[in-house]
Each structure stands twice: as C-alpha cells, then as structure tokens.
Amino acid sequence: MVGAAIAYGLGKRGARVVVLDEGDTAVRAARVNLGLVWLQSKGDGMPDYGRWSRRSVDLWPAFDAELRELTGVATELEQNGGVTLCLGEEELEERARTIRRMHNQVEPWVYETEMIDRRHLQSLMPKARLGRDVVGASWCPHDGISNPLRTLQAMHAGMKRVGVAYRPDAPVRSIGRDGAGFAAQTPAGTFRAAKVVVAAGHGIPALAAQLGLQAPIRPERGQLLVTERMERILPFPAGGLRQTADGTIMIGSTREKVSSLDTRTTTASAITLAKRALRILPDLVDIRIVRSWAGLRVLAPDGFPVYQESESHPGAYATFCHSGNTLAAVHAEELAPALLEPRLPDRLAVFHPRRFETMQAA
C-alpha cells in the first residue's frame, strides 16, 4: 500500500519508476486491514502525525476521484464520519481523557472530535440496535472507510496508466551503490536507478541495512472476522466494526505482540472479537461468521511513521508506517514529490528515526 501510493505519485509527476515486488508470497498488510480512513486516534504524543493524517483525510476525496477517472476502479470511499464506541463508564472516561489530551496537543481544526452520549450516538445510527453496555462514543466527522483491496487495485492500475513499470517477479536480494546511483539484484535481473525507495514492509530491515538506513520495525498481529452479507445498518465505521459496500461486517481487530512473521489465526482471539461485537450489536447473534484472517502491522517502536534518507547513501530512502490506507493520499500527493527534491523537506524531519535515540536516552 505504501509503495504503490508513492510509485503512483512519482509516476504521475513524470518520474521514470519501476516497482520491484516479491509478488503474492509477500506478507502484506493491505489485504488484511479494515480499510479505515481514520483521523480521530492518530497522533497522541506526536502532533505532527495528527496534522499529517488530517492532511491525508482531506486529500482523499480528490485522490479517490482521480483514481476512478483514470482507471475506472472505485475505492469505495465513504467519509460519513466515524465513532469509537465505549462499553461502560470506565471506557467512556478513558476515551474522553484521550480526546482532551490530543486536542491540547494541536490546533483545534486538526481533530474536531467530540464525545457524544448514547442518545446522540443512536440518532446517528438509527438502523443499529445498540447493546445495553454502549454508553457513548467519540465522534469525528472526517473519518471514513475505503476498500483496501480496491484501493490497492486502483493504485496499481493508476501506476500502469502513468507509465510505472511493475515487476512482481523481482524480489530484491541485495542493493547497493552503482556509480552515481544504485543497483538492485533480483532473480529477474539487475535494475539500476538514480534513487531508490525501500517500502517493503517487513522486508525493509534487511534491505535498509545495506543502505545505511535505520529500520526498527516490530510486527504486531491483528486478527479480523467477516460476517455474511446483511442489511446495511452501519452508516460509518464504529471503531472495530465496519460494514462493507456488499453488506458484510468486518469485526476487528486484535493487537498482538509476536516475535516472528506469524499470520495464523487463533480461536481465542476470534471469541474475544465476537463477544465484544455482540455487546455492541446484539442482533449479530444470528449472523454467521464466514471468514477470519490475520495480518501483521508494520510498526516503529512508537507506532508513528518513519521517512528517512540515508546519510551514507544519499538518494536512498526508507518509508514505513501503520495506517497505509489512511495515508495513501498524502503519500501519493505530498511524500512522493518530496522524494523528487534534492532533500526531504524540514517538515518531515519529525518522522526521522533519530527520534528513537532520544527515546532510549530518556
């Protein structure tokens, strides 16, 4: 998701780009996420991430329209707002504290999120019978959803239309300096370029080390459940619940620390997800679960994005983050052109991994 957005953004600005990909054997987050275009929870402790997320959320409608016009593929974007539901007074109070803290860190326009009570919440969701434990929620009018598979499809189709070469048969085995540029060794041959962007998710650390780049990535497993199709009852995403355009409800997601790239699902997590979903929407009791799957988030130690250029290999970059779906628009429209400049702009300096040295010192 991250690499495709950057490649599309570079290609439509006239850059000659080739995407070297591992193919469908890669561990991808794009195919196992809820597809949220989400603002209200982004940036607690890093205000610039909140501003960056707001910028992407604002760019999404034009980004979606451009891709649809160029490729004929709809991302199924809906930006009708979104809520984080609270079960019980303790969750409500904790959520209210978080929202106040985040509002205090940034300008008022960034989040525009408010706490609402159960009555207000129910008025926004008239077709959903809420469980008795639902006492309120945080509401953000800028939140929404897209279909991450359609978004990825649209970006790949867009890449092709703007002249980006896509090689799914070319996982990079090694990469290094080649004169004034770089050479990447793959089973499909050697590829050379003046600049290189490493955006390979959990494959980044091994490649980044060859270019003097820091990539302190940790995997976090998230499991999801998907129901059979039903009448549309959710007009917007409700935290870990969202309803797709075809009527299925996606229930997620867990946050599990794992020491390896383990994408197995577990019965225990499925039970936990299902129980919470039933406390929120008791009418789901008669709806069948038809699928479950797990994916691995690509996370820095603090959970915020990393964008960096190598000091020892100028022209080599590493980019990784959680929320590749939310940030797809800003990656295509602002990060991509920044990578064409002689150096990354100062406003992106906050996302450099040198911040982790400060964390360790503290």
| HSE-CB for 334 with a 13 A CA cutoff | 17
Instruction: Please tell me the predicted confidence (pLDDT) of residue 76.
Output: 97
- Burial class of residue 87 in the structure, from the number of CB atoms within 10 Å of its CB (0-12 exposed, 13-18 middle, 19+ buried): middle
Is the distance from CB of 224 to CB of 230 less than 8 angstroms? no
pLDDT confidence bin for 32, thresholds 50/70/90: confident
Instruction: Please tell me the predicted confidence (pLDDT) of residue 25.
Output: 74
Same domain, 131 and 186: no
184: β partners: 175, 191
The number of distinct structural domains making up the chain is 3
Residue 247: give the domain boundaries. Answer: 218-299
Alpha-carbon gap, residue 99 to 83, rounded angstroms: 12
61 CB contacts (<8 Å, ≥6 apart)? Answer: 77, 79
Positions of E strands within the chain: 18-20, 36-37, 82-87, 114-117, 134-140, 144-145, 165-167, 174-178, 181-186, 189-193, 196-198, 218-227, 241-243, 249-252, 256-257, 289-299, 306-309, 316-320
Q: Is residue 119 part of a domain?
A: yes
Same domain, 229 and 357: no
Alpha-carbon gap, residue 320 to 306, rounded angstroms: 5
52: domain CATH number is 3.50.50.60
The token pair at 320 is 């990784």
pLDDT confidence bin for 195, thresholds 50/70/90: very high
Instruction: Please tell me the predicted confidence (pLDDT) of residue 361.
Output: 53
Q: What percent of the chain shows pLDDT beyond 70?
A: 98
> β-pairing, 165-167 with 18-20?
parallel
Same domain, 272 and 309: no
Alpha-carbon gap, residue 149 to 60, rounded angstroms: 16
240: domain CATH number is 3.30.9.10
Same domain, 184 and 322: yes
62 phi/psi in degrees, rounded to 5: -70, -35
Alpha-carbon gap, residue 347 to 283, rounded angstroms: 47
Same domain, 162 and 66: yes
* Angle of helix 2-11 versus helix 148-161 axis, rounded to 10: 30
> β-pairing, 181-186 with 82-87?
unpaired
Same domain, 227 and 293: yes
For the whole model, what pTM was predicted? Answer: 0.96
Q: Is residue 77 part of a domain?
A: no
Q: Is residue 249 part of a domain?
A: yes
Same domain, 108 and 250: no
Query: Rounded to 5, what percent of the chain is helix, strand, coil?
Result: 35, 25, 40
Instruction: Please tell me the predicted confidence (pLDDT) of residue 70.
Output: 98
The token pair at 298 is 């690509």
C-alpha R_g of the chain: 21
User: If you count them, how many residues does the chain have?
Assistant: 362
Is the distance from CB of 29 to CB of 252 less than 8 angstroms? no
Same domain, 99 and 136: yes
Same domain, 212 and 308: yes
Region 125-145 average pLDDT = 98
Between the alpha carbon of residue 32 and those of residues 25, 211, 224, 225, the distances in Å are 14, 29, 8, 10
The 3-state secondary structure of 48-106, one letter per residue = HHHHHHHHHHHHHHHHHHHHHHHHCCCCCCECCCEEEEEECHHHHHHHHHHHHHHHHHC
Same domain, 291 and 222: yes
pLDDT confidence bin for 359, thresholds 50/70/90: low
Q: Is residue 234 part of a domain?
A: yes
Q: Is residue 37 part of a domain?
A: yes
pLDDT of residue 221 exceeding 80, the answer is yes
End position of a domain, from candidates 299, 329, 345: 299
329 CB contacts (<8 Å, ≥6 apart)? Answer: 5, 56, 57, 59, 60, 62, 63
Same domain, 64 and 154: yes
Please provide the average confidence, as pLDDT, over all residues in the chain. Answer: 95
Same domain, 29 and 114: no
End position of a domain, from candidates 245, 276, 299: 299
Is the distance from CB of 328 to CB of 29 less than 8 angstroms? no
Q: Is residue 205 part of a domain?
A: yes
Kindly write down the DSSP assignment for every residue of 197-240, as one continuous string. Answer: EE--GGGHHHHHHTTT-----EEEEEEEEEEPP-----SS-BTT
Alpha-carbon gap, residue 263 to 7, rounded angstroms: 27
pLDDT confidence bin for 29, thresholds 50/70/90: confident
Instruction: Please tell me the predicted confidence (pLDDT) of residue 113.
Output: 97
Alpha-carbon gap, residue 131 to 142, rounded angstroms: 25
End position of a domain, from candidates 275, 299, 323: 299
